Copies of this chain bind each other. A is one copy, B any other.
């Protein structure tokens, strides 16, 4: 694939030195062409061996590691419910509890929720890497929101931190089935190239949020037309909360289009611990996460999947295309 002037300029605008940007852009292109090669224009669903009209779904719980409540509810949802994929925040305090469970469940589809923020008021964490001053606030923790990360952190610091999180995950004797991005902090023009670079270097599939492609059309030219992408990434937003999570998830599943979808949510128990974690934070808070848990462990969810002929797949199957 030949790069357009527009594509090259996109990276020239970034904080990278131009020559480095050029190398990186080549790497990104290579990632999509080499790591998940599209054979003769086949879609991801075709390469996975399913008919074009199949509805394939990953039911993915984010935020493992932040609290015992989150870990336990997610583990329970794997064991008793329909949840079949999750990812962990490596710098979070309960990462070791995740490691114990992951070792006991080597078949589970578990990835790394790359994290550059610490969004809760009372429970905090910070970088795994050292000497990344642009990633920490005055209290020594990650910034509360993505905007501050983008304005303070350099691309080099973000790469250093992502690498440290992956290395700590690997050092636990585990292999992440995928990478994704907590609070979408890597879904911006500044850090997105590093995200892709790390996926390529470690040969791990990376999840790309489809909304990101709409919000930042500037990165679109960097993804070759024949790259294999997940088709939909549905997720509940605060506007959906008042009507109930079950209502949102039911209607989303009832109208799920054909293709590969990753549904993102968060399982936790609405208990003392989780209410303290989510202090002053009703959005994606303790009650919200309990409702997520309730739906994805319900008979209702199971029945809808069956009635709508939705087939669950995992990142393992997608990752197998890389090997």
Interface residues of A, Cβ cutoff 8 Å to B: 67-69, 72, 92-97, 100, 121-125, 128, 130-131, 138-141, 168, 171-172, 269, 271-273, 276-277
Most buried by B among A122, A124, A131: A122
Number of copies: 2
When the two chains form their complex, are residues B139 and A72 in contact, meaning their CB atoms are under 8 A apart? no
Known interface pairs A67-B273, A96-B121; 10 further A-B residue pairs with C-beta atoms within 8 A, sorted by A's residue number: A68-B272, A69-B272, A69-B273, A93-B93, A96-B141, A97-B122, A128-B140, A138-B171, A271-B272, A273-B273
Residues on B with beta carbons closer than 8 Å to the beta carbon of A130:
130-131
The answer on a CB contact under 8 Å between A122 and B168 is no
Q: Is the interface of A mostly helix, strand, loop or mixed?
A: loop
Cα distance A92–B122 in the bound complex, in angstroms: 11
Residues of B within 8 A of A269 (CB): 272
Which 5 A-B pairs rank lowest in CB-CB distance, beginning with the nearest? A97-B122, A93-B93, A68-B276, A273-B273, A130-B130
A273 touches which one: B68, B95, B128 (CB < 8 A)?
B68
Known: A96-B121, A97-B123, A125-B93. A72 touches B131 (CB 8 A): no
Contacts of A124 in B (CB 8 A): 93, 95-96
Cβ-closest chain B residue relative to A120: B96
A96 touches B123 (CB 8 A): yes
Min C-beta distance of A206 to chain B, whole Å: 24
Q: How far is the CA of A72 from the CA of B123 in the complex (A)?
A: 13
Choose among A69, A124, A139, A273 the residue with the greatest number of B CB atoms under 10 Å from its CB: A273
**Cβ–Cβ < 8 Å partners of A125 in chain B:** 93
